[in-house]
A and B are shown apart, each in its own frame.
Chain A
């Protein structure tokens, strides 16, 4: 059974408040108020001027204490990237990362096109890849984290603000720590935000969002052989507070079991949210032996996914 052997996160120190982003994002004062009061946003993190996107990933990997002394066991380094294209060809952050953190022997590649829930895809496929190889000691390193390098005009900042940060995790094909109990993924290419000539993608995505996210959460819990009531903690994507309140209302799941604090203090750090929120859960002693927790997220394109773990 696929398991996580360690999780780390990195948030840059530089904090930018939502009003400070108003000019960059072309937000009106009224919109700023909505983002703050209704959606629960306060600030996001941004890189230092001399910090690159790869620097974010390197910092997350260096914070992964479970990696130390086990570098030789890492067979794969997988970059779970939400934005399909983020650097000019042939710039290659995952290869640069491997060289900088002493993993030049591992096979590096990127998986993408699952938006900000590519992290769960990467965990699932890493476990399968390691199981196929058959070496019980082998590990895969997954990294996530991206820069806010452009404002894609297809994606108005109506209900989420991107922050910068990174996360990393070690995956093993089997293990006792943070075992993966179930995974569900639903892709809705019909909601493609970049489909030529389509203008109502945002409305259709918003309409499908809650129901589809609830479906994958319930399906992942079923796949784990559990009931939703067994889930003690939900690690969300840090899009906004309101959407999670609505999802919880539809699910009949207590919203106080959703770790939402990073919405206000970190913003939505692409596919790194899961790892950033995991570390916050550890800091708060929310994960004890046997805790069943669930990660869920969705992203434009569109992909919805959920994964159930047991700590």
Chain B
């Protein structure tokens, strides 16, 4: 349960990331086709032919990353950011993952925002920290790559199953700034604003093949190399009309 702590701000201190070449055995669960068939029926879309053999579970993908970052100290809040669902659609995965993290954190998922969800998750974690209930947090950005039906509108699918975990801790300074805009795409102006006054900032955009996890994968991979620099993450998801940017000042120098 919650315990009150001094209000603080969070910094990203460690990260883990991993691609999964194999598919999950859960993709072959006999209950999955029926669930998806019921779900797609009102929308008139076509289910791809069974049997299903590909796909992954976000719970099984995130779990080893939580273990990799586990230093025995408790986590207060865990947020799972999702774009496309996994092959275990009925499962409260964030709640399950809370039981695998030290400290039994408050855990929940943020979704229905396309690639903006991790940015919103960062804002929520900041709010928990500033209201004095979170000094350590985990942000999980996870997306498996299989869709078992034809989408109602074209979507970008990832080319592999990937998961990223970012560990955030209370720090002495404000190190994360997130801005989100609805219905506009003034990306250059936002980037200029966030880069101004910083020597040699790193600007990240999602790499090809990983439309959701890619930005955060790049951040996790560069966390040590970019110590002391400002990293700016930029995303515009036209499917939801959201522009999201984040400026993260990495410590370490």
What is the interface of chain A, defined by CB distance below 8 A to chain B?
Answer: 52-53, 79, 83-95, 104-115, 118, 121, 125, 128-129, 131-132, 147, 149-155, 183-190, 192-196, 216, 219, 223, 299-303
* CB-based nearest B residue for A301: B92
Supposing A52-B42, A107-B180, A189-B97 touch, asked if A89 and B92 sit within 8 A by C-beta, the answer is: no
Supposing A79-B112, A84-B90, A121-B108 touch, asked if A189 and B98 sit within 8 A by C-beta, the answer is: yes
> Are B2 and A185 within 8 A (Cβ)?
yes
Tell me which of A94, A125, A153 has the highest count of chain B C-beta atoms within 10 A of its own C-beta. A125
Cα–Cα distance between A53 and B39 once the two chains are bound (Å): 12
**Complex contacts, B112 vs chain A, CB 8 Å:** 79, 92-95, 108-110
Residue B137 at the A interface, CB < 8 A?
no
> Are B85 and A189 within 8 A (Cβ)?
no
A-B contact pairs, 6 of them (CB 8 A): A89-B151, A186-B1, A187-B99, A188-B99, A192-B91, A192-B92
**Complex contacts, B91 vs chain A, CB 8 Å:** 84, 192-194, 301
> Are A184 and B1 within 8 A (Cβ)?
yes
Supposing A85-B85, A150-B39 touch, asked if A125 and B124 sit within 8 A by C-beta, the answer is: yes
**Complex contacts, A92 vs chain B, CB 8 Å:** 112, 239-240
Nearest CB of chain A from residue B241's CB, rounded to whole Å:
8
Q: Which of B67-75, B126-134, B222-230 contacts A (4 or more CB under 8 A)?
A: B126-134
Nearest CB of chain B from residue A218's CB, rounded to whole Å:
11
> Are A219 and B1 within 8 A (Cβ)?
yes
Write the B241-253 contact mask toward A (1 if CB under 8 angstroms, else 0): 1100000000000
12 additional contacts, CB 8 Å, given A107-B120, A114-B92, A129-B124? A79-B112, A84-B93, A91-B152, A110-B110, A112-B111, A132-B127, A149-B41, A187-B104, A188-B99, A189-B95, A219-B1, A301-B92
List B residues 161-183 near A (Cβ within 8 Å).
Answer: 180, 182-183
Q: Which of B13-21, B30-38, B213-221 contacts A (4 or more CB under 8 A)?
A: B30-38
Cα–Cα distance between A299 and B116 once the two chains are bound (Å): 28
> B25, B89, B95, B100: which contacts A302 (Cβ < 8 A)?
B95
Tell me which of A93, A106, A112, A115 has the highest count of chain B C-beta atoms within 10 A of its own C-beta. A112
> Are B39 and A86 within 8 A (Cβ)?
yes
> Are A189 and B110 within 8 A (Cβ)?
no
> B34, B127, B130, B182: which contacts A106 (Cβ < 8 A)?
B182
Cα–Cα distance between A95 and B111 once the two chains are bound (Å): 11
> Are B108 and A132 within 8 A (Cβ)?
no
Supposing A150-B39, A152-B90 touch, asked if A111 and B110 sit within 8 A by C-beta, the answer is: yes
Residue B23 at the A interface, CB < 8 A?
no
What is the interface of chain B, defined by CB distance below 8 A to chain A?
Answer: 1-2, 25-26, 31, 34-36, 38-43, 45, 80, 83-85, 88-100, 104, 106-114, 116-117, 120, 123-124, 126-128, 130-131, 147, 149, 151-153, 155, 180, 182-183, 239-242
* CB-based nearest B residue for A118: B108
* CB-based nearest A residue for B31: A153
**Complex contacts, B1 vs chain A, CB 8 Å:** 184-186, 216, 219
> Are B182 and A107 within 8 A (Cβ)?
yes
> B41, B97, B127, B153: which contacts A90 (Cβ < 8 A)?
B153
**Complex contacts, B41 vs chain A, CB 8 Å:** 149
Nearest CB of chain A from residue B98's CB, rounded to whole Å:
5
> Are A184 and B2 within 8 A (Cβ)?
yes
* CB-based nearest A residue for B92: A301
> Are A301 and B108 within 8 A (Cβ)?
no
* CB-based nearest A residue for B155: A90
Cα–Cα distance between A38 and B4 once the two chains are bound (Å): 41
**Complex contacts, A186 vs chain B, CB 8 Å:** 1
**Complex contacts, A107 vs chain B, CB 8 Å:** 120, 180, 182, 242
Cα–Cα distance between A149 and B35 once the two chains are bound (Å): 9
Cα–Cα distance between A87 and B114 once the two chains are bound (Å): 14
> Are B93 and A113 within 8 A (Cβ)?
yes
Cα–Cα distance between A216 and B97 once the two chains are bound (Å): 20
* CB-based nearest A residue for B101: A189
**Complex contacts, A184 vs chain B, CB 8 Å:** 1-2
* CB-based nearest A residue for B86: A85
> Are B155 and A113 within 8 A (Cβ)?
no
> Are B35 and A114 within 8 A (Cβ)?
no
**Complex contacts, A125 vs chain B, CB 8 Å:** 124, 127-128
Cα–Cα distance between A84 and B123 once the two chains are bound (Å): 21
> A89, A113, A128: which contacts B107 (Cβ < 8 A)?
A113
> Are B130 and A105 within 8 A (Cβ)?
no
> Are B113 and A90 within 8 A (Cβ)?
no
> B34, B95, B116, B131: which contacts A150 (Cβ < 8 A)?
B34
**Complex contacts, B116 vs chain A, CB 8 Å:** 109
> Are A88 and B93 within 8 A (Cβ)?
no
> Are A150 and B38 within 8 A (Cβ)?
yes
**Complex contacts, A192 vs chain B, CB 8 Å:** 91-92, 95-96, 99
